[in-house]
């Protein structure tokens, strides 16, 4: 074992890797966890792997570990509940704290925070099965995104431009969440900014043949293009990075994460959502941005693990 591996093992102690879970993003979380596990073990770090099932609380209480690497996406891992439990157990963990995680997972709350601070985000409203399409038209716009309020990976999202499409989209979104958001549809380029230790990594532009960057485009399609360099002028890329950092800080996020944005035809940038536990698969955006910044996947995983080293 190399000296570097010994020092990392001593530095971090025993790491509990949490993945899987019961959210709609379970399969992506399993893939993220497998990639992280390989990276940690390749560097000599002691790891115990836990699939976050119904026995999670019992296993956390019974396990002896020094820190947790959270690779859980969606509810139960990214919404603040796991973070709050680890706080109660006085165990350090990667990424944002409980409150920031909860705010970021709640699209409506995060957008209200951004709007209150003067940060640009598309007009929106919460809708229910009883909300008429005419009200959405009046308050949000002629074309909207209907999305579950507490899901990630573009799960349950639809582009809507008519009453018939609206009814179908509501039915789909309500399968995943009782809270549904209608957000003005911004037609334009999609960008994402990964954040690590308070710094923005190179911006990635996403291009897809789909109507938008949906679940299939993210994890299954082979024709989705990821452009890094993103094609923006240096001043515009810095503007996007600064906006992403401001949005991240506004929610109290820390450590690492990702902010997704859209640019309209007039080159105005709009904040879509924050991700406090982004994917770490072979299709994921944070590893791509890290690679563009000169970080290997193994180095990225160590940097993420290091976000657990903070005063609590």
> Is 149 in the active site?
no
H or E element, residue 262: strand 256-263
Catalytic residue among 158, 275, 284, 308: 275
> Is 165 in the active site?
no
Q: Which of 31, 73, 126, 45 has its CA nearest to residue 275?
A: 73
Catalytic residue among 23, 101, 110, 153: 153
> Is 219 in the active site?
yes
Catalytic residue among 205, 260, 284, 308: 260
- Helices 297-305, 285-292: axis angle to 10 degrees equals 110
Helix, strand, coil tally for the chain in percent (to 5)? 40, 20, 40
> Is 67 in the active site?
no
> Is 273 in the active site?
yes
C-alpha separations of 61 from 33, 51, 52, 157 in Å: 21, 15, 13, 37
> Is 275 in the active site?
yes
Q: Please list the alpha-helical segments (H only) found in the chain.
A: 3-12, 26-42, 56-62, 81-88, 98-105, 107-116, 133-139, 163-174, 215-219, 234-250, 285-292, 297-305
CB 40 within 8 A of CB 280: no
Catalytic residue among 93, 191, 213, 219: 219
> Is 237 in the active site?
no
> Is 309 in the active site?
no
Catalytic residue among 101, 273, 284, 308: 273
Catalytic residue among 96, 254, 279, 308: 279
Catalytic residue among 20, 21, 25, 255: 25
Catalytic residue among 26, 75, 254, 258: 258
- Tell me the catalytic residues: 25, 153, 219, 258, 260, 273, 275, 279
């Amino acid at each position: 074992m190399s000296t570097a591996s010994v020092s990392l093992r001593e530095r971090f102690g025993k790491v509990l890797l949490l993945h899987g879970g019961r959210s709609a993003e379970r399969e992506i979380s399993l893939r993220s966890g497998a990639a992280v596990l390989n990276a940690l073990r390749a560097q000599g770090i002691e790891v115990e792997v836990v699939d976050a099932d119904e026995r999670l609380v019992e296993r956390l209480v019974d396990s002896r570990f020094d820190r947790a690497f959270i690779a859980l996406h969606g509810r139960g891992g990214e919404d603040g509940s796991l973070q709050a439990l680890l706080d109660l157990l006085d165990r350090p963990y990667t990424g944002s704290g409980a409150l920031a995680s909860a705010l970021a997972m709640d699209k409506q709350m995060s957008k209200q925070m951004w709007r209150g601070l003067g940060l640009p985000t598309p007009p929106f409203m919460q809708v229910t099965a009883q909300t008429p399409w005419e009200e959405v038209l009046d308050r949000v716009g002629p074309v909207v995104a209907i999305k579950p309020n507490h899901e990630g990976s573009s799960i349950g999202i639809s582009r809507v431009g008519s009453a018939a499409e609206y009814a179908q989209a509501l039915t789909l979104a309500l399968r995943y969440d009782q809270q549904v958001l209608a957000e003005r549809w911004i037609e334009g380029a999609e960008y994402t900014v990964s954040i690590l230790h308070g710094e923005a990594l190179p911006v990635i532009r996403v291009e897809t043949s789909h109507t938008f960057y949906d679940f299939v485009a993210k994890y299954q399609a082979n024709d989705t293009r990821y452009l890094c360099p993103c094609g923006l002028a240096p001043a515009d890329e810095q503007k996007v990075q600064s906006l992403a950092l401001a949005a991240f800080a506004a929610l109290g996020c820390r450590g690492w994460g990702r902010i997704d944005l859209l640019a309209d035809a007039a080159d105005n940038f709009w904040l879509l959502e924050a991700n406090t536990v982004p994917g770490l698969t072979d299709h994921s955006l944070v590893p791509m941005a890290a690679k563009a910044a000169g970080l290997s996947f193994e180095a990225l995983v160590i940097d993420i693990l290091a976000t657990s080293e903070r005063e609590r």
